[in-house]
Structure 1
Amino acid sequence: MSANDLPWFRFYPSDWLGGTRGMSATETGIYITLIANMYDRAEPLPEDFDRLARLCGTTKPALKKTLEILIEDGKIIKTDAGLWNSKVQKEIEFREEKSNRSASAAKQRWEKDQQNQDPDDASAMPEQSERNAKTMPRARVPEARSQKPEERDKSLSGDDDEIWILDEGSDWLLSKGLTETQIPRLIDDWLTAYPAKQVRDAIGQAQIAAANHPTSYIAKVLKNGPRSNLQQFPSDREKTRKEAEEAEKAEYRKRLAASRGEEVENAN
């Protein structure tokens, strides 16, 4: 796994505070810097003390002294490949398993859809990655979801597609570098403009294609695929609404001016 595949890791403040209690500021700083570099490389760090000291912003003697303490406490372990951490190993294995499970689930959905799709739809498939271009079916469109907030909340509990999007889909987007602030807004826009199944399929395509820019890829798949009854993203609908309001105001001013002109003519 490369660094790009794991741009983040789970961090539990209570665990960290409990695990570093009693450590000096220097020891804590060197420890978290080593951990971060392990996650960034996704592999053990070579025992190059000069380089590690520069990475940690400390001196070589201070690094060696701190490493001895960390190794003695079991927080850093020595391996044939270099310095490593058991929790980093578990986290990487967790991310790999979750990523593989999500990709496998997406692939199974595509295979199932391919068996059920109309043969005439095969040629309408949006452009896919080279390895999947001949096997991925076009997403089938279920009945468009309700856009009323109260109905949307009710459908969430029983909608497997939305649950998958908010769980597996969100985790995958997070693993690709998107923030926890960006993801809910994106998903809300997608689910407002398109049926949940279509959004899930688009995210699945991005997973299988290993898209480097997932949001652009997903948006392209959605726009090239079947549309919902809304036909527009929320931003497009807002623009249309404002244009309609301006047209209505202009028409009102026109009628008002005409009405005043009639009154003046009658008075004469």
Structure 2
Amino acid sequence: MSKKRWFRLYIERWRDGTFGLTPNEIAAYITLLCELYDHDGILIRADLDLLARRCGMRPSSFRKAFETLTRRGKLTLDGDVITSKAVSEEIESRERLDGKFAESRQKLAEKRNEIREIQQRLPTDTEKRIKTRVLDSSLPPLGAGQSPSVQNFIKRREMARRRSA
């Protein structure tokens, strides 16, 4: 069975492709599509009576619906193997997309690793600011060039530190 438990359903294509089908034929078609997707596009040793039960239909009603679907080219019966061109094409498309997604995920992981390596080599922002203050004595004291309210806050904080020390 396939790992993929979903398939794309294009509403317009579905509506156009099922136009003129009876409710039984539509029920059989969607159930068979689900079975085909679940088995990677091929139903080997297909038991029509079992599939009729899966569809909730009498075997005679199911066979009639199945004949219509094969006659209209929706499904293909070759011996006891059921296939669908549309399902096969969608599975191939999905596999190509999965390959592209895997490639994109790989590139993204490589970029993230590069960024992590660069970040590990760089000093943290705090370390950089401390080193800059210690090494460059020509810098104005902390608080210079700031608004009066910020300067007053810094003075009050310094005074509170001195008192508690």
TM-score by length of 2: 0.62
1:82 matched residue in structure 2:
81
**How many aligned positions are there?**
119
1:71–1:101 CA distance, 2 compared to 1 (3 A):
same
Deviation, 1:43, is 3.0
Query: Within 2, Cα distance between the matches of 1:63 and 1:26?
Result: 7
Query: Within 1, Cα distance between the matches of 2:9 and 2:108?
Result: 32
In the TM superposition, what are the counterparts of 1:1-268 in structure 2 within 5 Å? 2-4=1-3, 6-45=4-43, 46-79=45-78, 82-108=81-107, 110=109, 138=113, 140-141=115-116
Percentage of matched positions with identical amino acids: 30
What per-residue deviation string (whole Å, max 9, x for no partner) do you get for residues 165-206 of structure 1?
A: xxxxxxxxxxxxxxxxxxxxxxxxxxxxxxxxxxxxxxxxxx
Query: Within 2, Cα distance between the matches of 1:14 and 1:26?
Result: 20
- Residue 115 of structure 2 aligns to a residue in which SS? coil
* Aligned-residue RMSD, C-alpha: 2.9
1:77, 1:83 within 8 Å by CA — same for their partners in 2? yes
Deviation, 1:3, is 2.6
- Residue 106 of structure 1 aligns to a residue in which SS? helix
1:197 matched residue in structure 2:
none
What per-residue deviation string (whole Å, max 9, x for no partner) do you get for residues 54-88 of structure 1?
A: 11111111111111111111011124671111111
What per-residue deviation string (whole Å, max 9, x for no partner) do you get for residues 8-29 of structure 1?
A: 1111112111111111111111
- Provide runs of 4+ in structure 1 moved above 3 Å: 105-110
Deviation, 1:39, is 1.1
What per-residue deviation string (whole Å, max 9, x for no partner) do you get for residues 27-65 of structure 1?
A: 111111111111122231232112111111111111111
Query: Within 1, Cα distance between the matches of 2:35 and 2:114?
Result: 41
1:240 matched residue in structure 2:
none
Query: Within 2, Cα distance between the matches of 1:139 and 1:41?
Result: 41
Query: Within 2, Cα distance between the matches of 1:62 and 1:69?
Result: 11
1:44, 1:81 within 8 Å by CA — same for their partners in 2? no
Larger radius of gyration: 2
2:75, 2:83 within 8 Å by CA — same for their partners in 1? yes
Query: Within 1, Cα distance between the matches of 2:88 and 2:99?
Result: 16
1:77–1:25 CA distance, 2 compared to 1 (3 A):
same
2:41, 2:87 within 8 Å by CA — same for their partners in 1? no
Deviation, 1:139, is 5.5
Query: Within 2, Cα distance between the matches of 1:100 and 1:90?
Result: 15
1:43–1:12 CA distance, 2 compared to 1 (3 A):
closer
1:109–1:12 CA distance, 2 compared to 1 (3 A):
closer
